[in-house]
Structure 1
Amino acid sequence: MTGSARNFLEFHDVPEAGLRSIVARAGELAKAWDDRTMPQTLAGKRVALIVDDGGWRNTTAFDLGIQAMGGICVHVPSGFNTREETGDLSGYLGNWFDMLVIRTKELATLKAVAAAAPVPVINARSRSNHPCETLGDLAYINSRRGSIDRLKVVGVAADANILRSWAEASIALPIEVVQVYPERWHIRDAALFNGRFRASTDMGELSDADVVITDSWPGDGPSDALAGYRIGTDVLDRLPEDAIFLPCPPVTRGQEVTAAAMEHPRCLSRAAKTFLLHAQNALMEWVAA
């Protein structure tokens, strides 16, 4: 964590005990959501939501969750690295808000904001990582399995923000994460490698996977080099019976997944993304505590 604030810029900013409490709390908030009995734990909290990089799913969930828990959410029509210095803008926002939720391109920008802001900062997505997406998936997995311990997560994906957040998660939690992809697109960042994250080209790694994730094909990837890493029903049929397949939206059918794979009973992406809301709500509670 940066300074004294409870920031969430990278997944491993939060210690293991904090992550476990957030994941467990997400399950409680899921029930409260269904029962329409959301706790008003953000009552009186003023949250700035800054979207500097498109997207809609998790920022919509932040806005909805803040209001459902009694907070005030303001969409700030400003970005970073334009006319105002990041440090100046962060200070001005800190005059008015209790928390900043920011979706922007550069992780370095988020770190600069956190260094200057007197209030907590949450990373709603950067090009380098997407920790809220991984947090939501883990909360869903916990709701189904009753635990997140000793998971084997196989990411059939190139080096990109979703896979990187799973690698970050392996630093903080007792889960094994394996990237399976052609070497050209392997993660090279030494800071992400630890005893629980590694890269491979072997699709056989999926044979004992608890969770399989995908992401969009890289823009510089010839289809003939990637076709062997497409997830179809034949691959899903060979997974363990209780395995969970979580293709990352937006899904490009015919590239990283087949259309039929999206209808397979092990494909649980839509249900999992329900927990994006609940996990983010639990995270905001933790950050505001």
Structure 2
Amino acid sequence: MPNEAERDFLQFHDLGADAILSIIARAQILAEAWNDRDMPQSLAGKRVALIVDDGGWRNTTAFELGIQAMGGVCARPPARFGAGEATADLAKYLDNWFDVLVVRTRELSALRELASSADAPVINARTRSNHPCETLGDLAYIRSKRARLDGLKIVALSPAANIVRSWIEASIALPLQVTQIYPEDWHVREIASPNFTASTGLDALFDADVIVTDCWPDGASGDRLLGYQVSASLLERCRPDVIFLPCPPVTRGQEVSADAMSHPACQSPRAKAYLLHAQNALLEWIVA
């Protein structure tokens, strides 16, 4: 059972390997329960705030649906960070009513400030810096397809954005190998992990277990980035069992071609089903 200091989930490596693997294992069980329409009422009596301060809909919808399916109460306070009300004050007001705070906002620093002031545990539902729930869900899906996660080779065709950063965070906690492939200007430099490397060449792509992408940077030259686009022909050169998980929202014609989205390696819609199951397992673990 997590203690008070361990219940926040702001970065993937906030949780140790044992906790992460137990959550991923539980997600497999909850996936079966979901399909059987027989969800455990693990959140009965729990009140969860779902604060959406930065758009998006997939993982926040999954949170709301999962909370309700497991017997909890979910409310969406229209709270905003950095909009006049001190975050420390906001935390105490939220503590009056809620057992867990799930927050999607732009700045990771706002979540850190909220977590430092709130008694309720805080879950990062996405920031511009990282997206740990997305990676947790992807790992839960990958675990449903493969016997083990040890030694998994992840290749990210991505700028220094929240998806690749969360995979690097995962490589701190778990024995995963993460390689970012992109022009050097957009390499991640601020996160240290012995299991992370960055390259401008595509060689690591052809031995990857999992390929992920993110959107092209704003204002970047398409001519410069087209060589890093994932296409069906590129996927044909990869391992036959590779799992391609383009990060939604997908921009066809930029980071992916239209034919890549229909390639058998592309498993993003099925993988994103596990976003619900992994987040449900995370909530269970937090309130245990």
Q: TM-score, normalised by structure 2?
A: 0.98
- Aligned residue for 1:266? 265
The residue matched to 1:47 in structure 2 has which SS? strand
Paired residue for 2:76?
75
Q: Which residue of 1 aligns with 2:282?
A: 283
**Matching residue's letter, 1:219:** D
The alignment partner of 1:4 has SS state of helix
Consecutive unaligned residues in structure 1, runs of 5 or more: none
- SS of the aligned residue for 1:73 comes to strand
Cα deviation digits, residues 60-95 of structure 1 (max 9, x gap): 000000000000001101111112100000011011
Contact 2:6 2:15 in 1 (8 A): no
* Residue 220 of structure 1: aligned partner: 219
- Describe the SS at the equivalent of 1:77: coil
Instruction: Give the equivalent residue in structure 2 for 1:39.
Output: 40
**3-state SS, counterpart of residue 153 of structure 1:** strand
**Alpha-carbon separation, structure 2, partners of 1:2 and 1:9:** 16
> What one-letter code is carried by the residue in structure 1 that aligns with 2:103?
I
Q: Partner letter of residue 178 of structure 1?
A: T
Shift of 1:146: 2.1
Q: Which residue of 2 aligns with 1:146?
A: 147
Instruction: Report what 1:58 is aligned to.
Output: 59
- The structure 1 segments of at least 4 consecutive aligned residues displaced by more than 6 Å after TM superposition are none
Aligned to 1:8: 9
Counting matched residue pairs gives 287
**1:77-96 to 2 correspondences below 5 Å:** 77-96=78-97
How far off its partner does 1:198 sit? 1.0
Q: Distance in 2 between matches of 1:178 and 1:193?
A: 13
- C-alpha distance in structure 1 between counterparts of 2:134 and 2:91, whole Å: 24
8 Å contact kept, 1:2–1:115: no
Partner of residue 168, structure 2: 167
Q: Distance in 2 between matches of 1:203 and 1:220?
A: 23
Give the structure 2 partner of residue 126 of structure 1: 127
Cα drift, residue 5 of structure 1? 4.7
Structure 1 residues 108-123: aligned runs within 5 Å: 108-123=109-124
Matches of 2:193 and 2:160 in 1, distance apart? 16
2:158 is equivalent to residue 157 of structure 1: yes
TM score, norm. by length of structure 1: 0.98
Give the Cα separation in 2 of the matches to 1:71 and 1:225.
48
Match of 2:181 in 1: 180
Root mean square deviation of aligned Cα:
1.1
Q: How high is the sequence identity, in percent, across the aligned residues?
A: 60
- Give CA deviations for 1:241-289 in whole Å, capped at 9, x if unaligned: 1110000000011101100000000000000000000000000001111
Counterpart residue type for residue 235 of structure 2:
L
